[in-house]
Amino acid sequence: MTDAAQTGPAHGVGGRPQLAPPKLETGVLGWMHHNLFSSWANGVTTIVLIVATVSFLSSFLDWAVVRATWTAASGAECRGGGACWALIHEKYRYIFFGSFPYEQQWRPLFACLAMIAMLLISSDRRTWNWRLLAIWTVGSFITFLLMFGQLHFPFVLFLIIALVGGGGGMAIRSRVAESGELNAYRIAAAIGLVGVVLRLTGILPPFGITIAPFSYVETGSWGGLPVTLILATYGLAFAFPFGILLALGRRSNLPLIKGLSVGFIELIRGVPLISLLIMASVMLPLFLPSGSNIDKFLRAQVAVILFAGAYIAEIVRGGLQSLPKGQFEAADAMALNYVQKTALIILPQALRVVIPPLINTFIGFFKDTSLVLIIGIFDFLNTANSALVDPAWAGFPAEVYLFAALVYFIFCFSMSRYSKYLEIELNKGTRR
């Protein structure tokens, strides 16, 4: 045994001195040695790629920053050889907000901020309960009040909310709630039902609440980033539960529900989104009673919801299929009913598994909203595109598209990082 009073490097079990690892294996040098220069071929490739990247970046930065023109009075002045960011400086109001009345453009700005705030707050897991409904109701109210300027709430809307809320509450909380709470749901549903019937039969006159703080701006004048955000946010917010219901319906044992779900999914997936938008815009008015006019923007929104819902349904169905049968059996054996089993056991596990393809779909649809150009709605990409039409500023497509790409990248990359965060957060207990 070695003498305990020895100085020098720490001693291991056998008494041999413990040496430090070789310098070339650890730290930055070690990483470079292993990853970049581990063999001759790798070393040469590394050098070639570094040279190529540096030269590309330097010429790009030269064009984009060094020789760029940042302000100019017209396109002619801007041909200094570098990027013409003056075009963006000149046109950014139109690119972001389209043909919304110029002096009122602070409204769509704040509407965008409200929606972004709503999304950021919703991303925190601590809000994933009833608070979510409150946040979205308030956020949506602010957004649409700003965009429209004037909102009219027919009384029927509140009656329908009472009916749906009461009915839903009765169905979901029937096992768990006290009788007082259940009675509240029953009363709400009853009032809602009676009121809707009275209104439909014409006995109750139409009246409602109007809130009109600003001037009215119809949806035809909306454009730019708010349009993209509204179509994507509300499209996916409604498509997500709709897709889940479709997926559950497709797995149902009841032939009618299963048939309807399968039929809907296959029909919607079988046609391009453009054709759905055109059908919604052109054909739907033919089927409706003449005179009634459903807003074009609403039609586009519904088309996006239906389309995204079908795709989300198939992703969720994949997640449902991946669960071992034992999970369903254990839930059944504990006397959980279908709603409890699905909400507490099945969906939490199924959705966790399919976070990557779901966020993938969300990112794709965020950009697919540009297709609404086909029915004359100008979302962000289309307003950017229109900025090129001005003859005084002709000839700078790269700057406009790079700028649009940058904005899209900010949103899509954020979604992608959030997806990563969600995967880690929600799978804390399992070894993934």
Partner 1 sequence: MAAAARDLSNTPSVIELRVVNKWYGQFHVLSDINLDVKEGEKIVICGPSGSGKSTLIRCINRLEEHQAGDIVVHGVTLSNDVKNIEAIRREVGMVFQSFNLFPHLTILENLTLAPIWVKKMPKKDAEEIGMALLERVRIPEQANKYPGQLSGGQQQRVAIARALAMRPKIMLFDEPTSALDPEMVKEVLDVMIELAGEGMTMLVVTHEMGFARAVADRVIFMDRGEIVEQNQPELFFANPQNERTKLFLGQILHH
- Which residues of the shown chain bind partner 1 in the complex (CB under 8 A)? 175-176, 324, 326-327, 329-330, 332-337, 340, 344-345, 348-349, 352, 426, 428-431
CB of 329 to partner 1, least distance (A): 5
Our CB check for partner 1 shows the closer of 89 and 173 to be: 173
Per this entry, what is the length of the chain? 432
CB of 114 to partner 1, least distance (A): 33
Our CB check for partner 1 shows the closer of 256 and 333 to be: 333
CB of 399 to partner 1, least distance (A): 48
Q: Amino acid identity of 221?
A: S
Our CB check for partner 1 shows the closer of 202 and 326 to be: 326
CA atoms within 13 A on the CB side of 266: 7
Our CB check for partner 1 shows the closer of 115 and 347 to be: 347
Our CB check for partner 1 shows the closer of 217 and 331 to be: 331
Q: How many CB atoms lie within 10 A of CB 324?
A: 9
CB of 171 to partner 1, least distance (A): 14
CB of 317 to partner 1, least distance (A): 19
CB of 54 to partner 1, least distance (A): 46
Which residues are paired to 210 by β-bridges?
A: 152
> With left for phi above 0 and alpha for psi between -120 and 50, is residue 26 left, alpha or beta?
beta
Our CB check for partner 1 shows the closer of 33 and 352 to be: 352
Contacts of 116 (CB under 8 A, 6+ apart): 229
Nearest CA to 269 out of 242, 318, 308 is that of 308
Contacts of 214 (CB under 8 A, 6+ apart): 104, 107, 145, 146, 149, 150
CB of 337 to partner 1, least distance (A): 7
Our CB check for partner 1 shows the closer of 107 and 341 to be: 341
CB of 352 to partner 1, least distance (A): 7
Our CB check for partner 1 shows the closer of 201 and 430 to be: 430
